[in-house]
Amino acid sequence: MAKKLFLATLGCPKNQVDSERTLWALRRAGVELADNESQADIVIVNTCGFIGDAKEESIDTILELALVKKKNPRVKLAVMGCLSERYRDELSRLIPEIDYVYGVSDLEQALVDLVPGGVKSSLPDPEDTERIITTAPHWAYLKIAEGCSNRCSFCVIPAIRGPYNSRPLDAVVKEAAQLARRGVKELPLVAQDTTLYGTDIKIRDGLATLLRHLSDIDGIEWIRVMYMYPTLINETLLKCLADTEKVAPYFDMPLQHASDRVLKSMIRPETNKSIRKLIDSIKKLLPQSAIRTSFIVGFPGERDNDFETLMQLVEDSRFDHLGAFIYSPEEGSEAFNLPDRVDSDTARERYNRLLETQRHISQGILQAKVGGVEQVMVDGLDLEENLLTGRMITQAPQIDGSVILDKVEAGPGDIVTVKLTGSMEYDLIGEPYDKSHAD
């Protein structure tokens, strides 16, 4: 009888792609996929180890799924991903229920351990780009590189994932074409730093070159670039986004802070002046674009005036989408031993104030869109709210708001024209647009 597998994925979209490839390889080796952990013979947790909260979630999930072994000792529990790469020995010692610990590049060993017999023919071909898509059928993440060569002082990803390693251009395009043939219409591109794509494999203007190739693929409607490092967003890339119709006018660029002093301590090359200049360039060349960013508050040494500089940038720039994190001291990072830690109450107060300011900004931006006409990609029925939802091209799946579709009859992946009739804190409401009855 074939073994059954349940895999829980935590963390970022890059982790999700790793899980999808793992599922494909194990299914190819003869393992069946279980709907939940209670049906499984093999339980895998793909962990995240980026910041403290993510590590806690990973540990909690491992402990929760370890209970399956208590009910059925024959179940094998494996962990993989960033947390297990970083704390391989500690996890095995502290959680004895774990049978196997894999790092970020141990898929072949996992196949040997979890699928005994006949494994050689099942080992993944490096050119094999197949995956089991775990997102909605009409969109899928496309990972274009592994690792990271930036040295931000708060981050341990380079130590976990290694230096930046672009995937070959033809392999990325091949995978995108395969996804298109499977009905995928939107490709969010992901990497630790998408703007660095191609520099290590001698492709000039690598990201812009890749985007042009991807835009030639039939069936792909929207291409969205995530995780853009602001320093490397140059004129060539801006013009590519402006001139390439399928590429979303969308900038996901984590700025991290706005104070020159804090940015320097973070080992970020940007300055307040360069950040403002970039935002002005984006809005001038692509006035219809949306900007998503994220900031860290409570970084060691962050003073009141540093935080006020950050708040001023947020109020002046009016970002369409914004995320925030309270600084998490990560062992092994350069910032771990920095003096002048910000106390937790102050950090939390700054975090709350930043998000409250952004909430009002978001409300104003969305309210200004009411009455306009937009193209919306239908995502499907929200099962909790029993409402049909979709997204404008300026809204990324899973992390940005959505458009609630009233009286619209369409299926997932369809692109419909709607008139925006209302707004909420982070979502819009739209109904079918009849051009013949337009005002």
- Let me know if residue 159 belongs to a domain: yes
- Let me know if residue 341 belongs to a domain: yes
Q: What is the pLDDT of residues 292-308, one digit of tens each?
A: 999 999 999 999 999 99
Q: Do 294 and 323 form a contact (C-beta atoms < 8 A)?
A: yes
**Predicted pLDDT at 1:** 60
The closest alpha carbon to 224, from 178, 160, 292, belongs to 292
* Cα–Cα distance for residue pair 391/89, rounded to 1 Å: 43
Domains in the chain, number: 3
Q: Which residues, in sequence order, are CB contacts of 89 under 8 Å at separation 6+?
A: none
Residues 116 and 198 in one domain: no
Residues 281 and 412 in one domain: no
Ranges of H-type helices in 132-218:
157-161, 169-181, 206-215
- Let me know if residue 127 belongs to a domain: no
Helix (H, G, I), strand (E, B) or coil at 58: helix
Q: Do 284 and 245 form a contact (C-beta atoms < 8 A)?
A: no
- Let me know if residue 273 belongs to a domain: yes
**Predicted pLDDT at 162:** 92
- In the block, tokens 């940015």 appear at 263
If phi > 0 it is left, if psi is from -120 to 50 it is alpha, else beta; for residue 332 that is left
Residues 192 and 318 in one domain: yes
Domain extent, residue 102, equals 4-122
Q: Do 377 and 390 form a contact (C-beta atoms < 8 A)?
A: yes
Residues 78 and 179 in one domain: no
Which CATH number is 227's domain given? 3.80.30.20
* Cα–Cα distance for residue pair 327/311, rounded to 1 Å: 16
Residues 156 and 58 in one domain: no
Where are any strands of DSSP class E within 278-432? 290-297, 321-326, 373-382, 387-392, 403-405, 415-423, 428-432
Whole-model pTM: value is 0.92
Name residue 417's beta-bridge partners.
375
Q: In what order do the strands lie in the sheet with 321-326?
A: 250-252, 290-297, 321-326
- Using CA atoms of 309, 310, 312, 317 in order, give the dihedral in degrees to the nearest 10: 140
* Cα–Cα distance for residue pair 246/223, rounded to 1 Å: 6
Residues 291 and 194 in one domain: yes
Q: Which of 368, 400, 427 is the last residue of a domain?
A: 368
Ranges of H-type helices in 193-303:
206-215, 235-243, 260-265, 272-285
**Predicted pLDDT at 145:** 96
SS percent in the chain: helix, strand, coil, step 5: 40, 20, 40
**Predicted pLDDT at 124:** 53
The upper half-sphere exposure of residue 306, i.e. CA atoms within 13 Å in the direction of its Cβ, equals 22
- Let me know if residue 187 belongs to a domain: yes
Residues 328 and 202 in one domain: yes
If phi > 0 it is left, if psi is from -120 to 50 it is alpha, else beta; for residue 371 that is left
- Let me know if residue 133 belongs to a domain: no
- Let me know if residue 195 belongs to a domain: yes
Q: Which of 345, 368, 391 is the last residue of a domain?
A: 368
- Residues in the chain with pLDDT < 50? 121
**Predicted pLDDT at 53:** 86
Residues 393 and 347 in one domain: no
**Predicted pLDDT at 71:** 87
- Let me know if residue 189 belongs to a domain: yes
Which CATH number is 13's domain given? 3.40.50.12160
* Burial classification of residue 306, based on how many CB atoms lie within 10 Å of its CB (0-12 exposed, 13-18 middle, 19 or more buried): buried
Residues 160 and 275 in one domain: yes
Q: Do 255 and 294 form a contact (C-beta atoms < 8 A)?
A: yes
Q: What angle do CA 183, 186, 192 make, to 5 degrees?
A: 125
Which CATH number is 379's domain given? 2.40.50.140
Residues 304 and 393 in one domain: no
Residues 272 and 387 in one domain: no
Q: Which of 342, 368, 394 is the last residue of a domain?
A: 368
Residues 191 and 106 in one domain: no
